[in-house]
Amino acid sequence: MKCAVIGLGVIGKVHCEIIQAQADLVAVCDIDESKFDLYPDTLHYTDYKKMLKEVRPDVVHICTPHYLHTSMTVFALGENINVFCEKPLCIDKNDISKILDAEKRSKAILGVSMQNRYNASNLFVKEYLKDKKIKGAMGYMAWNRDINYYNSGAWRGKWATEGGGVLINQALHTFDLMQWFTSYPQSITAKISNISLLGKIEVEDTVSVVADCGDYKFNFFATNSNSTNLPVQITVSTDQGNITVMDENVLVNGELKVLSNSDRFYGKHCYGSGHEFIIKDFYDCIKTGRKFALDGAEASKVIKMILATYSSNGEAVKI
């Protein structure tokens, strides 16, 4: 399995490390050539199209700023090269159809890195809920991202390039788990705000959502204005009691279960342990022809929820 990576920033380095443990990292691409020093044994490119045409990798990992995901994904799929793209799939509603169309026409497959679905604790919750009647749910994320974080990349904190703030970047995974655990909402009513970095970034640092799933609703709250990074928490209410997941800890009606499928974390601890497992699964799907679960259609679900949230301004928006 020959792999290439576009984008050698924080998350790109995580992908490179995992690739080197599972496959063959043959080429890397970045506009900052100083980053190539970490990968002396690979081919180096500053033009991703040239890299893909010359190297023809089995898989390309796209780890670039959000606004570049669509064009790079569409091009690689057009070259019939399998794509593993970091989240978010895209930041514009019109780009969803572009990506799905490219995926449909390609001989290659697309996977999106929504790795939290592969955490052992979240897999346990998903399995536990399959025969329960859900009555409601609440998700909560309180982290800290200060101005230094946003100044670390010119694309951060801008609608045109990041596509949003806390929701589309940090809280996307938890927002996705909310609908994965429960059901896909029919409409969303939400408010976004900028509490701690007003005038310093364009995008939101705080969001509050009520998602209408028909028979019940789930609520979701996320902020980057907290003083520290607290554990993410989701509680689902069912006809047989409550289940809460917080990192690797699951509480089922008062009984604590600690679940982990890894003894190490790649990158930041808040990324969870799922990256190595989702990448391994994606590679296996390429080798065996098995359908990869987190394809364009599946990954676009949370994007539609996020875009509905951004357009709500306190009014119900159908998805």
* Average pLDDT taken over every residue of the chain: 95
**Which pLDDT value is given to residue 259?**
85
Res 239: pLDDT: 97
Task: With a cut of 90, say whether residue 260 has pLDDT above it.
Answer: no
Model pTM score? 0.95
Across the range 233-243, mean pLDDT stands at 98
Q: List strands edge to edge, sheet with 134-142.
A: 255-258, 249-252, 241-246, 233-238, 134-142, 217-223, 206-212, 187-193, 317-318
Q: Tens digits of per-residue pLDDT, 133-163? A: 999 999 999 999 999 999 999 999 999 999 9
Q: How far apart are CA 28 and CA 47, in angstroms?
A: 10
Q: Which domains does the chain have, with CATH numbers?
A: 2-114 (3.40.50.720), 116-269+292-318 (3.30.360.10)
Amino acid, single-letter form, for residue 68 = L
pLDDT at 270: 55
pLDDT digits (tens, 9 = 90+) for 86-134: 999 999 999 999 999 999 999 999 999 999 999 999 999 999 999 999 9
Contacts of residue 186, Cβ cutoff 8 Å, sequence gap at least 6: 212, 213, 214, 318, 319
**Where residue 269 falls among pLDDT bands split at 50, 70, 90?**
low
Amino acid 267: pLDDT: 53
Q: How many CB atoms lie within 10 A of CB 62?
A: 27
